[in-house]
Amino acid sequence: MRLLLLEDEGDLATLVANGLHQAGFSVDRAATLAEAEELTRHFRYDAMVLDRGLPDGDGLSLVRGLRRRQDTTPILVLTARDDLDDRIDGLNRGADDYLVKPFALSEVVARLRALLRRPHSAVDCVLSLGDLAFDPDTRQAEVDGKPISLSVLEGNALEILLRRAGKVVRRTQMEQSLYDSGTVIGSNSLEVLIHRLRRKLDAAGSACAIVTVRGLGYLLQPMPPL
Ligand code: CA
């Protein structure tokens, strides 16, 4: 198992690296965000251990970048910030677990092993298909990297379709996910919503299409080249 350790305090980094070696991990060390970004572009890691307070920024920005690239490598954040908001912020931005300094080495190892046992898909990544992307955290949709403006309901519909891209989503399933059980919806509410979403994707020049599968539901797919 190969790990990336991003920690700028030399003594602490050496201590943690030694502990991880002893636990049987191989460890690459980085002391700045820039170094870590360079390493993650060239190597695949089984997990990462990141500090937040770094000379060139917040370790969480690396997490954000990885998740945007659909990289679900498990990430354990080590930090001196023990504020509840900081911890929630870290988890919201794609970290998998959090450990507040000072910590015991044995706990770092135990938490890493727990993360490595988990399926990697637990992280909410940016969803994408072809030129289309949707960030479930910020609810922002993009076509070819350019933001498009969607209503809450349109964003929700796009998210459902993207999560099952290439597969048919049944209309009953979509209605149940989109509308509260108490809401009275018209028989064509979903059609109208899909129609609006299609027009926005078209207007933004997306090469993805929402296909109606008669009697079943909808399917989001990249349009075949003409
Ligand atoms: Ca630091």
Same fold, 2-116 and 127-222: no
Q: How far is the CA of 13 from the centre of ligand 1 (A)?
A: 10
Give tens-digit pLDDT for 10-19: 999 999 999 9
| Confidence grade of residue 225 (pLDDT, cut at 50, 70, 90) | low
Higher-scoring residue by pLDDT: 70, 162: 162
Structure tokens at 194: 């899909």
Asked if pLDDT for residue 91 goes beyond 70, the answer is yes
Average pLDDT over residues 207-212: 94
Q: How far is the CA of 70 from the centre of ligand 1 (A)?
A: 26
Amino acid at 64: R
| Confidence grade of residue 221 (pLDDT, cut at 50, 70, 90) | very high
Q: How far is the CA of 95 from the centre of ligand 1 (A)?
A: 17
Average pLDDT over residues 173-202: 86
Q: Are 76 and 47 in contact (CB under 8 A)?
A: yes
User: Which pLDDT score is estimated for 149?
Assistant: 96
Q: How far is the CA of 100 from the centre of ligand 1 (A)?
A: 12
The structural architecture, per CATH, of the domain 127-222 is Orthogonal Bundle (1.10)
Q: Are 21 and 27 in contact (CB under 8 A)?
A: yes
Q: How far is the CA of 57 from the centre of ligand 1 (A)?
A: 10
What span, in angstroms and rounded, lies between the C-alpha atoms of 174 and 24? 47
User: Which pLDDT score is estimated for 151?
Assistant: 93
Give tens-digit pLDDT for 4-48: 999 999 999 999 999 998 888 889 999 999 999 999 988 888 899
Q: Where are the domains of the chain?
A: 2-116, 127-222
User: Which pLDDT score is estimated for 49?
Assistant: 96
Of the candidate CATH numbers 3.10.20.30, 3.30.479.20, 3.40.50.2300, 1.20.1050.10, the domain formed by 2-116 belongs to: 3.40.50.2300
